[in-house]
Amino acid sequence: AVVEPYNAVFATADLLDYMSAVFVIDNEALYNVCSDSLEIESPTYSDINKVISQVVSSVTASLRFNGDLNANLSDFQTNLVPYPRIHFLLPSFTPFVSTTQTPNTVNDLTTTVYLPCSQLCTAEHSTGLYMASCLIYRGDVVPKDINCAIAKIKNDKSVRFVDWSPTGFKIGINPEVPITVSGTRLVRTVCKLDNTTAVRQVWDRINRKFDLLFTKRAFVHW
């Protein structure tokens, strides 16, 4: 929407004071997922909502399905929010669709979910520092494979943590097999929630667009 910068800025005050955690998702990243990953030429609001539902389904899977290594909503807040006002989380997800080229192993999924193509909010994570990162796996996943994949991620120089939280990984595993946007079942998926300083890029972008609109008093009469 044209007035999206207005809505985001006006909502921020309440989101800071009254929310325990906020998932930051932008339309640009959603359209990129629909056009690139799902190969939809003209994404509709229904297509975008289905992408968002994939993330919400993974985050809330522990409320619907039993699992020995589930991560519930209170765990997310405890592990991802170091200070009350630093609670804006950037979500990522993979895979959105099942194809012959879909990353299938735990190692491939973990590597892919840290790439820009899996993000639901446009931000250069490599330029920021992670305070915490939560990986929520669904399907046929064992902890041993996750530990190996995370060890590889830790050696990646693009994934850097703040000095006071060098091992800020949280893992959740739910054995329930997920379903893609198209309705087919997948062997496994992973949803990632990050608390990173790269979120500053999102606020800078919103502030810049807000200033451009408000300088011209666009839509102020509403």
Q: Which residue has the tokens 């997948």?
A: 186
Flag whether pLDDT at 99 surpasses 70. no
One-letter amino acid of 96: F
Tokens read off for 189: 């998926």
- pLDDT at position 130, please? 92
Nearest to 90 by CA among 122, 136, 115: 122
The answer to whether residue 149 scores a pLDDT higher than 70 is yes
pLDDT given at position 69: 78
Has residue 5 got a pLDDT over 70?
yes
Region 71-92 average pLDDT = 87
Q: Mean pLDDT, the chain, as a whole number?
A: 87
pLDDT digits (tens, 9 = 90+) for 31-75: 999 988 888 888 888 889 988 988 898 888 888 888 777 777 788
Where is mean pLDDT largest: 71-75, 101-105, 169-173, 176-180? 169-173
Angstrom distance (rounded) from CA 70 to CA 138: 10
- Residues paired with residue 197 on neighbouring β-strands, in sequence order: none
Contacts of residue 98, defined as CB under 8 A and 6 or more positions apart, other chains included, come to 180, 182, 184, 185, 186
